[in-house]
Structure 1
Amino acid sequence: MIKLLIADDEYLVIESIKFIIEKHVPDVQIVGTAASGREVIEKAFDLKPDVIFMDIRMPGINGIDAIRQIKNTHSDIIFVIITAYEYFNYAKDAVNLGVYEYLLKPINKQRLVETIQNISDILSVKREAIQREILLKEKIDKIIPHMEGQFVYSQLFNGRVIRGIEFYEEIFSMKLQHGYVMMAMVDDFESDIKEENLKNSLYQQSFYDFFSLELKNLYPCLIGPPLLDRIVAYMPVNQDIDAYEARNMSMDIATKLMERIHRNTKIRYKIGIGRIYDIEYFSKSCNEAYTAASVSESDGVTHFEDIVFHLEKVDTYPINKEKDLIDRLLTGNISEVLEVFEEIFWWLSTHYKDDIDKIKSKLLELLIMLKRAIPYEIEESSIAEQSYFTDILKIHQVNALKTSYMNYLKNVSSRIEDLRKRELSGLIAKSIKYINENYHRNISLDDAAKEVNMSYHYFSKFFKDSVGKNFVDYLTERRIEKSKEILKDGSVSIKEVCYKIGYSDPNYFSKIFKKITGITPTEYRANALSQEVIG
């Protein structure tokens, strides 16, 4: 069925066209008529016809201008011009606007019928093409998620250099050459009750579904299939984006994602984010995301660069118990370190039984892994002394070997914790120094975060945990303390004091000052000056 709108200011012309169509042309519905340019524009918007018969000369907006305006919003409508005159200039405009036919009044019945039939053929072909396109899109929409999963899965476990990356970029409609990995890791849950485990599995699957749906709504990305307790997303980024900006953007996305997921699931999880690399180094970013998630608090987001120690070499090892040991060791969690080592040692003693030399060999391999994973500063502090290799070789009892190795791990963990405290202390000292030197400027949390190379999300929590108050409160108190010193100089106006400590609004300064001290700057100055006189 073709929907037709007729626009002409002559009643008899409209009735003539209607009569011919109703008598000689089936499958055409005349959805409306219009007698002016403005009216046809409005009805085209409301009725959405397939075809419009348009008179050139109408009151107000002429037919050509009406076609031009309608084309701006409904480019697929077919236009047929009807007119009593052959206007050459109008004919040229009509051709430029893609008008299908140009009919002269009085309308010839045979010409009108042929025109409608030809338009019907055109619309049929167009509709068939649209149907084929819809069917093709449905098929592609079913295939693409599988290709997406295979793409991410392949990068996770094969790590091969991708050939024909342009093909995948076209398939997924996004640039893939550069990006980072975001990984969500679900907290372990084990129960002796079968129903509880089943319920948790359903919750876990629901979480993965929400994660995929909400993340794709927030950012164009590729998401792999769930892998036991985790799900991996590849987040493409522009090559020219600033690394610091990209880091904060990734934290924003993850934070918004968690807010949305919390509304739909109660399962406990954490999100880790790796750094940006070329696609060839996908696994490097993936292992960084895993490390970040491993050290993150439950229901938290951690970027790899926000970990105090940048574990440049951890990513070369498989994700297994050995890697768990390294992760927990480098975060200073000694109780978890010993728990993981218990599992490793149990496996060694079970599989190699009384072959203590084989157990020693495996433990020495693990020791080498630990040495390589420990940041350079700690190696220099002689944590993994060469003499310990000799000590292991001298032990001849399995239990003594286990005890010795556990003592070694405790020693490593203790030294890492000491270094962590020193480094954290240095970072907070650097932050406070920055505030003290720049309080008079319009500085922000983001400025201070950049100074110590942290994302503002992580720095905000880090600063509050270390100082006991948030950044804004600390900066405000520092400014007020400095203002008290300046107020004792009666030659400096209140407005000047305001500007000297970093505020631009004297009224706001007075309000904050009173909130903290209980009195206005003017009252404080009067008290301070009177005490000097008395003194």
Structure 2
Amino acid sequence: MIRVLIVDDEPIERMALQKIIEEGFTEVEVVGQASNGREAIEAAARLQPDLITMDIKMPGINGLQAIEQIKATNERIKFIMVTAFDTFEFAQQAIRLGVYDYMLKPSRISVVLDTISRVVEEMKHLQLEEAHRNHEKEKLRKMTPLLEADLVEQLLFTEMPAQILHEMIDLIGLPPAGDGFVMTLVFSEFGEQEEEQPDLDAVYAHVKNQLQMYAQPYWIGKMSGHQIPLIVFLDGELTPRAQAIGLARRLLQSMNGIWDRHRLFIGIGGVCRDMRDMRKSYHEALLASMDVSLPARYCLYEDVSRQDIQSVGGHTLEMEKGVLEAARCGNMDGASDILMKMIDVSEGFGQGIAMAQQRIFEVLIIVSRMLEDMGMVVNKPYFPYPPTSYKQLKAESHLLIHQLVDMGDAVETDLLQTMKAYIQAHAHEDLSLERLAATVNRNPFYVSKLFKEHFGMNYIDFLTEHRIETAKGLMQETEMSLKEITYEVGYNDPNYFSRVFKKLVGLSPTDYRKMLLRPSNKKQL
């Protein structure tokens, strides 16, 4: 709907124009009238019209002066000039002010309709274009975090040509690239139980919200392996060290009282003058975050002693444990992420590719043995040929760890069949996830992951579906009451059982049983 304000010092002219507009257009609404320039300025601010028909010759502030003042505060409003004087002077000023069209008065109804129609159609076209631009901006806004995270990943883990780098920066409107350094935010002390696992999306959102509160320009990467990479650009008069320490302390402080159980440690790399050197700063940040027991909970690479750097291989033992724990829980993507971090540390340390490959191979062998002990069918890891670069080593390692377990074959393992049989035999009892996991000697978190991966649902949904299917069978095959069936399938509250049944089946237990009885009743008739 196009909103119109009519401005004219003659009441008859205003009333006539309003009647023509209201009778001639369905998509145009007259929202108000004004009798002089002052009233027009006030009404435009109050009513926010899309279009104003403006008389030129009025007492006090004339039409052209009013247009100028209104456009100074709202350039979106369009104008049709209405005048009894067809002079070159008025035309010049109207063009300068960006007036869309003009009408001489008195005008025939057809002329008024034709003039307003042209302006309205043009405005509708502009509105559609603006809506399209806003839609595209919204899509880009939603994509920006993904593109930003991808840009960080490309910079830190691969080699990105300068031209593509600048094109991506322009596309997503990121802060301009300049001198900067990399910080790695390392979260640790996650529990083994499923309920103890953090909401990683919430942790990530908390970090982003905190960063947006600071003036420091940054690019943030995605969380992987419980780590978040951050490219921070130098800003202000403080030294790089002061900026790094200040930002680290603010982030650490923001975690207090909210994420205490999930300890944060921050490693800080050295300053880079070229964006393409950020990988070096990233490797330095990883090395600085090896010892997360430091009381300050942050460390700058420049403060790490050469002796500590030389012994950095020993610190990767914690990463190796992370790979094993992730694989044990069925999280092969997480295990791969941590494995990639290990390779990054080796590259940052300057270790030879052959030695790094050997260490990764040893970790994969340990993982494969652990998975075999858990009853899974495991493919033996094997590097077909020596890698010639760290990039190649990462690609090969990522492929190998995901090929260790054929998840399609794993579905038919004794472990899954044993769990299914146990649920079917004990579904009527108080059967918790912990109890089920204990029967197969597995971690509850791992059992939960296994259900989601292989059955497409979590454990509770699997148990609930089995109970409801059993209840449907009892309704069809026995004369048991609904209350008896409730207790028979493992529920203690008939009302709760009824709600669950209706949610899954679409009918209440009573209506479902009536539906079953209907065919037999027809036979008796």
| TM bin (shorter chain) | 0.5 to 0.7
Relative distance call for 1:370 and 1:170 in structure 2 (3 A) is closer
Relative distance call for 1:60 and 1:312 in structure 2 (3 A) is farther
- Cα offset, 1:261, TM superposition: 4.4
Q: Name the counterpart of 2:275.
A: 279
Q: Indicate conservation of the 8 Å contact 2:219/2:231, yes or no.
A: yes
- Cα offset, 1:341, TM superposition: 13
- Cα offset, 1:89, TM superposition: 3.0
- Cα offset, 1:323, TM superposition: 6.3
Paired residue type of 2:268: I
Relative distance call for 1:25 and 1:177 in structure 2 (3 A) is same
Relative distance call for 1:264 and 1:31 in structure 2 (3 A) is farther
- Does residue 1:236 correspond to 2:227, yes or no? no
Cα displacement string for residues 385-419 of structure 1 (whole angstroms, at most 9, x for unaligned residues): xxxxxxxxxxxxxxxxxxxxxxxxxxxxxxxxxxx
Q: What is the alpha-carbon distance in structure 2 between the residues aligned to residue 250 and residue 7 of structure 1?
A: 60
Q: What is the alpha-carbon distance in structure 2 between the residues aligned to residue 114 and residue 342 of structure 1?
A: 77
- Does residue 1:60 correspond to 2:57, yes or no? no
Q: What is the alpha-carbon distance in structure 2 between the residues aligned to residue 170 and residue 4 of structure 1?
A: 39
Q: Name the counterpart of 2:95.
A: 95
Q: Name the counterpart of 1:143.
A: 143
Q: Name the counterpart of 1:222.
A: 219
Relative distance call for 1:101 and 1:372 in structure 2 (3 A) is closer
Cα displacement string for residues 451-480 of structure 1 (whole angstroms, at most 9, x for unaligned residues): xxxxxxxxxxxxxxxxxxxxxxxxxxxxxx
- Does residue 1:288 correspond to 2:284, yes or no? yes
Q: What is the alpha-carbon distance in structure 2 between the residues aligned to residue 263 and residue 7 of structure 1?
A: 60
Paired residue type of 2:54: M
Relative distance call for 1:29 and 1:208 in structure 2 (3 A) is same
Q: Name the counterpart of 1:12.
A: 12
SS of structure 1 residue aligned to 2:76: coil
Q: What is the alpha-carbon distance in structure 2 between the residues aligned to residue 371 and residue 221 of structure 1?
A: 26
Q: Indicate conservation of the 8 Å contact 1:313/1:372, yes or no.
A: no
Cα displacement string for residues 166-187 of structure 1 (whole angstroms, at most 9, x for unaligned residues): 2111123132253221221112
- Cα offset, 1:125, TM superposition: 1.2
Paired residue type of 2:123: L
Paired residue type of 1:226: M
Q: What is the alpha-carbon distance in structure 1 between the residues aligned to residue 300 and residue 270 of structure 2?
A: 7
Q: What is the alpha-carbon distance in structure 1 between the residues aligned to residue 45 and residue 4 of structure 2?
A: 13
- Cα offset, 1:102, TM superposition: 1.9
Paired residue type of 1:171: L
Q: How does 1:381-392 map to 2 (within 5 A)?
A: none
SS of structure 2 residue aligned to 1:285: helix
Q: Name the counterpart of 2:242.
A: 248
Relative distance call for 1:202 and 1:190 in structure 2 (3 A) is closer
SS of structure 1 residue aligned to 2:106: coil
Q: Name the counterpart of 2:185.
A: 184
Q: TM-score, normalised by structure 1?
A: 0.53
Q: Name the counterpart of 1:133.
A: 133
Q: What is the alpha-carbon distance in structure 1 between the residues aligned to residue 71 and residue 307 of structure 2?
A: 58
- Cα offset, 1:260, TM superposition: 4.2
- Does residue 1:265 correspond to 2:253, yes or no? no
- Cα offset, 1:87, TM superposition: 4.6
Q: How does 1:32-43 map to 2 (within 5 A)?
A: 32-43=32-43
Q: Name the counterpart of 2:313.
A: 322
Relative distance call for 1:261 and 1:38 in structure 2 (3 A) is farther
Relative distance call for 1:211 and 1:298 in structure 2 (3 A) is farther
Q: What is the alpha-carbon distance in structure 2 between the residues aligned to residue 269 and residue 39 of structure 1?
A: 61
Q: How does 1:509-520 map to 2 (within 5 A)?
A: none
SS of structure 1 residue aligned to 2:223: coil
SS of structure 2 residue aligned to 1:164: helix
- Cα offset, 1:232, TM superposition: 0.7
Relative distance call for 1:297 and 1:33 in structure 2 (3 A) is farther
- Does residue 1:199 correspond to 2:195, yes or no? yes
Q: Name the counterpart of 2:487.
A: none
- Cα offset, 1:342, TM superposition: 12
- Cα offset, 1:121, TM superposition: 1.2
The farther-off stretch of 6-15 and 281-290 is 281-290
- Cα offset, 1:263, TM superposition: 6.2
Q: How many positions carry a matched residue from both structures?
A: 323
- Does residue 1:121 correspond to 2:121, yes or no? yes
Q: Indicate conservation of the 8 Å contact 1:184/1:231, yes or no.
A: yes
SS of structure 1 residue aligned to 2:198: helix
Unaligned runs of 5+ in 1: 326-338, 344-367, 374-535
Q: Name the counterpart of 1:167.
A: 167
- Cα offset, 1:372, TM superposition: 9.1
Q: Indicate conservation of the 8 Å contact 1:269/1:299, yes or no.
A: no
Cα displacement string for residues 27-60 of structure 1 (whole angstroms, at most 9, x for unaligned residues): 2100111122222222212211110011223333
Q: Indicate conservation of the 8 Å contact 2:283/2:348, yes or no.
A: no
Q: TM-score, normalised by structure 2?
A: 0.54
Paired residue type of 1:90: F
Q: Indicate conservation of the 8 Å contact 2:248/2:298, yes or no.
A: no
Percentage of pairs with the same residue:
28
